[in-house]
Amino acid sequence: MSASYVTQLFPAQEIRPLEGLYLAHELRRAAADQPFVYANFVTSLDGRIAVPDPMKGGMKAPPNVTNARDWRLFQELAIQADLIITTGRYLRDYAAGKAQEILRVYDDPRFADLVAWRAGQGLSPQPDLVVVSSTLDFPVPDALTHGGRHVIIVTDHRADAARIHALEAQVGRVYVAGEERVGGDVFVRLMADLGYRLIYSAAGPKIAHMLLEDGVLDRLYLTQVCRVLGATPFSSIVDGPLLDAPVDLPLLSLAYDPHALDGVGQLFGCYGRR
């Protein structure tokens, strides 16, 4: 099988091009008349989505599992969105030169077809961005508002009022949506009131917990690279207290990509309620 293809295993077995695999999910249709929230992770077989960064400190997505083929599908999910969720942690790491670029990918010629796809849908050139943060302890990089993108900041009642005012002067409205932390339900309602329907979490396990806890995550895209990493500490896809009730996300589709990482291979799983 050529490297441009993957094998879909479920619901029907068929050979499909990698490019277009997630555009074909037509997420905008799912969000036609109500908010639709989806998240994406790439993980090792032992569930590592982030491991310690020995060079720069902190945690980062494991370089032994991130790969260009998964990144392509990440972009196919992002390009469909009205709004992308990111975090204070991401902007701190971005400022420190430690974070993978999610802010300006639309300048990348590899994704020119996705830019054209978005224009063809009559959408703004790129999704808006929402930053969720309790501390508001992050600098706002110029790239954040690149291309006229709107940036929304959502925090909780622990945030410092002076910092809220400073950020409002710089990027616009800061919303408070929770006491100790931002709540998933109030967050999604707020975004819907602002006119956003299709909301993509490019954030990590705490945001995933926020969304799952309040039952507002509609779909999970999970790439499993066929590789075991070990590492302690590590992050998995969800970080937070035991959920009051387990969240069931039945399998919607599964594809096998044998070509990733020089033949290590990976599974592209999609789980959700509808």
Q: Show contacts with ligand NAP in window 133-162 (CB under 6 A).
A: 133-135, 137, 156
Query: Is 115 strand, coil or helix?
Result: helix
Per DSSP, 242 falls in state P
Query: Could you give the string, one character per residue 67-106, with x where binding to ligand NAP holds by CB under 6 A and - elsewhere?
Result: --------------------xxxx----------------
Which span sits near ligand NAP by CB under 6 A: 23-31, 57-65, 113-121, 262-270? 57-65
Positions of E strands within the chain? 5-10, 14-17, 36-43, 51-52, 59-60, 83-87, 128-132, 151-155, 174-176, 198-201, 219-225, 251-257, 266-272
Which span sits near ligand NAP by CB under 6 A: 2-10, 21-29, 132-140, 264-272? 132-140
How far is the C-alpha of 44 from the C-alpha of 226, rounded, in Å? 7
Taking a C-beta distance cutoff of 8 angstroms, is the pair 37, 199 a contact? yes
Q: What's the N-to-C CA distance of the chain in angstroms?
A: 31
What's at 231, amino acid-wise?
A
How far is the C-alpha of 204 from the C-alpha of 224, rounded, in Å? 16
Q: Does 170 bind ligand NAP (CB under 6 A)?
A: no
Q: Does 219 bind ligand NAP (CB under 6 A)?
A: no
Of 6, 42, 153, 216, the one binding ligand NAP (CB under 6 A) is: 42
Choice between 42 and 152, CB closer to ligand NAP = 42
At 110, list the tokens: 């590899």
For 185, other C-beta atoms within 10 Å of its C-beta total: 15
Considering the complex, what minimum distance in angstroms separates the CB of residue 42 from ligand NAP? 4
Choice between 102 and 123, CB closer to ligand NAP = 102
Choice between 123 and 254, CB closer to ligand NAP = 254
Per DSSP, 119 falls in state H
Of 79, 132, 198, 260, the one binding ligand NAP (CB under 6 A) is: 132
Which residues of this chain interact with ligand NAP, rule CB under 6 A?
41-42, 49-50, 59-61, 87-90, 132-135, 137, 156, 181-182, 203-207, 210, 235, 239
